[in-house]
Amino acid sequence: MANGNDLLDTFYQECEDLLVAMDEGLRELSEGESDPETINAIFRAVHSIKGGAGAFDLTELVRFSHRFETLLDELRAGRMTAEEDLIEVLQFSGDHLGDLVTAARNGEESDTEATERNLGLINKFLGPEKSSDEEVEIEFEPVSFDFDLGLATGGAGRHAITFRPTRDVYQLGHEPFRILRELAELGTLEVTLDASEVPTLDDLDPEENYLSWSILLETESSDQAIQEVFEFVDGLCTLEIRPEGDAAEGAALDTTPFDLAAGSGVSAATTVEPVPAPVEVAAAPEAPVVSEPTGSEPAPPPAAAEAAQAADARDKQGKQKAKGSNASIRVDLERVDKLVNVVGELVIHQAMLFQALENMRLSSGSELATGLDELSQLSREIQESVMAIRAQQIKPLFQRMFRIVREAGAATGKKAVLETAGEMTEVDTAVIEKLADPLTHMIRNAVDHGLEAPDKRVQIGKAETGTIRLSAAHRSGRVAITIADDGAGINRPKVKSIAIEKGLIPADADLTDAEIDNLLFLPGFSTASEVSALSGRGVGMDVVKNAIQSLGGRVTISSRPNEGTSFLVSLPLTLAVLDGMVVEVAGHPMVIPITAIVETLKPPKQDFHGLDSSDWVLSVRGTYVPVVDVGAALGFRTAKDDPTNSVVIIIEDEESSRTALLVDGIQDQRQVVIKSLEENYGHIDGVAAATVFGDGRVALILDPSSLVEQISRVGDPSNGTRIAMEERHAATA
């Protein structure tokens, strides 16, 4: 096969989509939606995976998906009902199919033991794999062009063939000449044309056939091979194949499907009149030329055929439902990334051009300035389009979590269901990829540590089955993902005592509820009194937090006793560019994401209340907002005594709490290209990333919420970050 690997990649990409569709269907099924469309969508996904796997010789995948498919087919045909135990096996099978695809994709050994175990489960419903199934498996060796001819083989020698195509044989594109030529490849031909049926020119319809042929074929090929040549015109001709001078073999052939008047022999066959349209021919039961399937494969009962037709119709609907009508293409992510980078450069260079123009002090109405304005408009559009290409629905990621909940529930003996919302929320591809691990961990935690045991839940009057809610939404220009359980909530006294025990906090620490909750994020913290097999993998919430921070995101926690715990993960929409307000802080340019900014103010001094800048609050139209002096918070200078010359930027975080950032001035509003600080330097609290301006200056992009959080946590803004900043200066120096 040409460019096999490339093709294989395409196949695996398809598998991903198919597995998502399958999982979705299985989930709907488990939620009680056992309508034909749902079942058919699952069936089609498994079926397509099997089809592709067969083409690539992935035998175990083919074998497993075949049995899985057979089970689904039973369900589809209504021979089984979607009872709980069957659904469970289907879900396990779906999970295992996903594992097999992953193993094949990574070139790893698949877990044959698991395959056998799973097949065992399937066999409980289907009975043991029968030999007929094995035959079907053979069909999936990449050779078959199979028609069930039910023929005896053998029969080398001379054959007398009469080939009389119907009048309309050309309608479907048949060409008797090609059949003769193909026949010639089997041996030596002696062909006699019978043109006696050709009418006079007036009556002749050039699109119809009036010719027939008598052929003497001398060949070593089997009868089957000869029959195969006529395979496609079966039903569109009268055909007679007789071994020359061997009456016995001729009789044997009479039972073949190609014996047109089945059972009645040659004479009947030769008297059949051509019938008007092949479409009707095949369908009309009274037409003698139709060769009903005979031999080893009995004709399916009409009901089955109807079911198949109905299934076709449903199949179509199901697919429409699943796929919608949007055309799409697949593009290598690398190419998109390249585009993103180039567009990023474009934005930087454009900024440089603007800068140069400004330095030239041309009037704003000049042609050059107008042109540049247009250019910037266009490049913004390009950029947005590129970002849209990278955006993906979060759905596939969410889909994976159903399995995690299922597995975690099974491993811990908890009963849990996952509810998702906002699956259509679009997020940058890179974010989705990197979110998989932390999200998996949080979901596992929610089941393992969040939910109570079923009997306990019943005892306190909750539903036996706990619910994990996973939702995504766009909020304040970011993506907010919530993972909430309806469990016991954080056991704060226990958390606190563990933290004291581990020396994470002093024994006399006086912590608020929120502070105690946040202890979970400290490195080395684990609430599980014994390390459970599931969550205790040496990965704590601190790792989750770091992973999310490295995406420019934040994670916050909230919990209510007996009502549950929820984690809010807030992520940037994209990792590439950002609209920012350039402000000046202690002589340094800094960028604040526009999306976080509510308003900018220059309030009079009397609006500031408090003793000094570390506990100032600002009165904004009657409400008090805490003030953070950015320059002091980042350690550039000590806190201001007088806010008069400062500008206040009111920001709002995902939880709608507002803070007033104190900066020295506003310079500009522009789009900046995000350059990761994590990758190039390391994480600094309060700083999301860095950027390069058109004039070559480097500026920090602030992460306002984290800045605020850090200030409130540390209390004294002058420690912690200052050290980080000094290190940064040392590093850049």
Partner 1 sequence: MSRRVLVVDDSASVRRLIVGTLRMAGFDPVEAGDGEEALAKARETMPSAVITDQNMPRLTGIEFIRAFRQMPGSAGVPVIFLSTENADAVKQQARAAGAIGWMTKPFDDQKLLGVVKKVLG
List contacts with partner 1 (CB under 8 A).
1-3, 6-8, 10-11, 13-14, 44, 47-48, 50-52, 54-55, 136, 139-140, 142-146, 148, 170-175, 177-178, 181-182, 207, 231-232, 235, 278-279, 282-283, 293, 297, 299-300, 304-305, 308-309, 312, 315-316, 319-320, 322-323, 325, 327, 330
Q: Shortest Cβ distance from residue 315 to partner 1 (Å)?
A: 6
Q: Shortest Cβ distance from residue 704 to partner 1 (Å)?
A: 44
Cβ 565 vs Cβ 614: under 8 Å: no
User: For partner 1, which is the closer residue by CB, 47 or 167?
Assistant: 47
User: For partner 1, which is the closer residue by CB, 125 or 232?
Assistant: 232
Cβ 481 vs Cβ 439: under 8 Å: yes
Q: Roughly how many angstroms between the first and final C-alpha of the chain, as a whole number?
A: 56
427: its two tokens? 């997020």
Phi, psi at residue 120, to the nearest 5°? Answer: -60, -45
Q: Shortest Cβ distance from residue 563 to partner 1 (Å)?
A: 43
Phi, psi at residue 81, to the nearest 5°? Answer: -115, 155
Reduced to 3 states, what is the DSSP secondary structure of residue 245?
coil
The candidate with the shortest Cα–Cα distance to 476, out of 342, 312, 597, is: 597
Q: Shortest Cβ distance from residue 100 to partner 1 (Å)?
A: 17
Query: Which whole-number Å values give the CA distances from 137 to 100, 141, 254, 300, in the listed order?
Result: 17, 7, 30, 20
User: For partner 1, which is the closer residue by CB, 106 or 325?
Assistant: 325
673: its two tokens? 């290209």
Query: Which whole-number Å values give the CA distances from 388 to 104, 274, 427, 428, 673, in the listed order?
Result: 31, 59, 9, 8, 16
Q: In angstroms, rounded to a whole number, what is the distance separating the alpha carbons of residues 302 and 77? A: 14
Q: Shortest Cβ distance from residue 314 to partner 1 (Å)?
A: 10
Q: What is the DSSP string of 148-176?
A: ---------EEEEEEEEE-TTTTTTT--H
User: For partner 1, which is the closer residue by CB, 288 or 643?
Assistant: 288
E strand spans, 356-442: 391-393, 416-421, 426-428
User: For partner 1, which is the closer residue by CB, 328 or 359?
Assistant: 328
Q: In angstroms, rounded to a whole number, what is the distance separating the alpha carbons of residues 269 and 76? A: 40
User: For partner 1, which is the closer residue by CB, 137 or 218?
Assistant: 137
Q: Which are the contacts of 270, defined by CB distance < 8 A and separation ≥ 6?
A: 162, 164, 238, 240
E strand spans, 226-310: 237-243
Element (H, E) at 431: helix 429-445
User: For partner 1, which is the closer residue by CB, 235 or 422?
Assistant: 235
Q: What is the DSSP string of 448-482?
A: IIISPPHHHHHHTT--SSEEEEEEEEEETTEEEEE
Q: Shortest Cβ distance from residue 40 to partner 1 (Å)?
A: 10
Q: Shortest Cβ distance from residue 49 to partner 1 (Å)?
A: 10
User: For partner 1, which is the closer residue by CB, 45 or 708?
Assistant: 45
User: For partner 1, which is the closer residue by CB, 173 or 715?
Assistant: 173
Q: Shortest Cβ distance from residue 164 to partner 1 (Å)?
A: 18
Q: Shortest Cβ distance from residue 279 to partner 1 (Å)?
A: 5
User: For partner 1, which is the closer residue by CB, 77 or 543?
Assistant: 77
Cβ 376 vs Cβ 347: under 8 Å: no
Q: Which are the contacts of 610, defined by CB distance < 8 A and separation ≥ 6?
A: 616, 617, 627
Reduced to 3 states, what is the DSSP secondary structure of residue 189?
strand
Q: Shortest Cβ distance from residue 468 to partner 1 (Å)?
A: 32
User: For partner 1, which is the closer residue by CB, 284 or 473?
Assistant: 284
Q: Shortest Cβ distance from residue 423 to partner 1 (Å)?
A: 20
User: For partner 1, which is the closer residue by CB, 322 or 405?
Assistant: 322
Q: Shortest Cβ distance from residue 122 to partner 1 (Å)?
A: 19
